[in-house]
Amino acid sequence: MNGLPPGPSNPLVTTLKYLRAPYATLLETAQRYGDPYSWPSFLGSMVVTGDPAGIRTLFTADPDTYLALGAELLGPVLGESNLILLSGERHRAMRKLQLPPFHGARMRAYGQLIIDAAQEHAARWPRDRPIQIHRTMQEISLQVILEAVLGLRKPETRETFKTAVLSVIAALKPSFMFIEALRRPLFGLSAWARFQRKRAHVTALFEEELRARRAPPEPREDILSLLLSARYEDGSALTDDELLTQMMNLIVAGHETTASSLAWAFHHIHREPAVKARLVEELRGLPETLDPEAVSRLPYLEAVCSEALRLEPVAPLIGRKLRTGLTLQGFDLPPGTSVGISILQVHRRADLYPDPERFRPERFLERSYTPFEYLPFGGGARRCLGAAFALYEMKLVLATLLRKYDLRPANNAPVGVAVRNTTVGPRGEVELLHA
């Protein structure tokens, strides 16, 4: 079938609706237009599927079928060598260099670091007012990232980097990310000019750290140290610019997404007493001194994390751009067409997940799901590099805090969903109290 499937026609209206209510807009669009549908955006029309058969088609296609979506537009903002913007052989080579630190023994070496960070920040929780869980999770996740990725163990150095990184994140605006015409200095007063100043400050800090690292080395296991010694197949090392770009990508993408997923997990656990009771009972079987590996193997804890990631995906819609033509669900799509996968849509299918709006971790103990039915970290050749690390961190933070603190909801107000640059998370705060 030639042509594109039906869908909304106005990118401005659709984008505004998405910014106001991302989950509802995606689900309503699929319900109205069927699967697949066309999704208008400032990157052009995207053909979206949330059907496992369509997802299988996209994930199992030759990786060279695709180009990274928005690379030309976003490269000047996020860095031309950013892994998420690379395609073909460049993407494979960069991914190969970055993959080892996130798997096996190297990833597990960060277990105690995660436990310590969770304990440190939770110790500051007040007893006389609501605890802001999302903010705490952001603090924990950013500390873990700065220690595990950059190897910043000194609190004062970590605080300097933290302030600089958060200022860059705050200055990164969807407006100039997706509308090139807004990248104007305007005498240093524009959002683009502010972003460039913040980025230049982080670059200077990072270059200073690199100079220190290249002094007589001591054995280190942080990801920056591992990438400093990594080599492409031709024997060349990553340039300073490549290192900075990859480090910023890992920090910006990694800390906010994991923090949001943890905040959702705490929210749902404390709205479902039976879930909390079963999880706490499982955690009671652990020894007093937590063994990260024992925690990572707990079945109900893993089910709780999986259900939080299913119900509240931080990347509800992901996309690619076709380098070559592809047939998707009966539609013959020409080269240059953007294709998308609605992770939210497949995660809310009642035929796969009965009572899909309910937080019910037991579903992950009752059956297994294919990579085309459950995909919180995407899939195929571009699956999130830090997926295993994020899940590991979620388990350890939940286990550390739920064993020690008996919490309850501060109120019964629903928590909405907000767009945070290219991902989504809780709107407002998730507030809990000491029970």
Q: Are 329 and 35 in contact (CB under 8 A)?
A: yes
* C-alpha span between 113 and 144 (Å, rounded): 7
Give 117's contacts (C-beta < 8 A, 6+ positions apart). 140, 143, 144, 147
**Looking at residue 108, what is its pLDDT?**
77
In a domain, 157, yes or no: no
**Looking at residue 216, what is its pLDDT?**
63
> Looking at residue 133, which CATH number applies to its domain?
1.10.630.10
Give 309's contacts (C-beta < 8 A, 6+ positions apart). 261, 376, 391
Total structural domains within the chain: 1
In a domain, 271, yes or no: yes
pTM for the model: 0.93
* C-alpha span between 134 and 33 (Å, rounded): 35
In a domain, 286, yes or no: yes
Where in the sequence is the domain holding 77, given as residue range(s)?
11-151+220-434
In a domain, 122, yes or no: yes
Largest Cα–Cα separation, the chain = 63
At residue 419, φ and ψ (nearest 5 deg) are -80, 130
Q: Are 366 and 353 in contact (CB under 8 A)?
A: no
In a domain, 176, yes or no: no
In a domain, 369, yes or no: yes
Q: Kindly give the confidence (pLDDT) of every residue in the chain, 435 residues in length, as a single tens digit, with 9 standing for 90 and above.
A: 677 999 998 888 998 899 899 999 999 999 999 999 999 987 778 999 999 999 999 999 999 999 998 888 888 888 888 888 888 999 898 888 888 777 777 777 889 999 999 999 999 999 889 999 999 999 999 999 888 888 888 888 889 988 988 898 888 887 788 788 888 888 888 899 998 999 999 889 888 888 887 776 666 778 888 888 888 888 888 888 888 888 888 887 778 899 999 999 999 999 999 999 999 999 998 988 999 999 999 999 999 999 999 999 999 999 999 999 999 999 999 999 999 999 999 999 999 999 999 999 999 999 999 999 999 999 999 999 889 999 999 999 999 999 999 999 998 888 999 987 778 999 988 999 986
In a domain, 16, yes or no: yes
**Looking at residue 219, what is its pLDDT?**
67
In a domain, 81, yes or no: yes
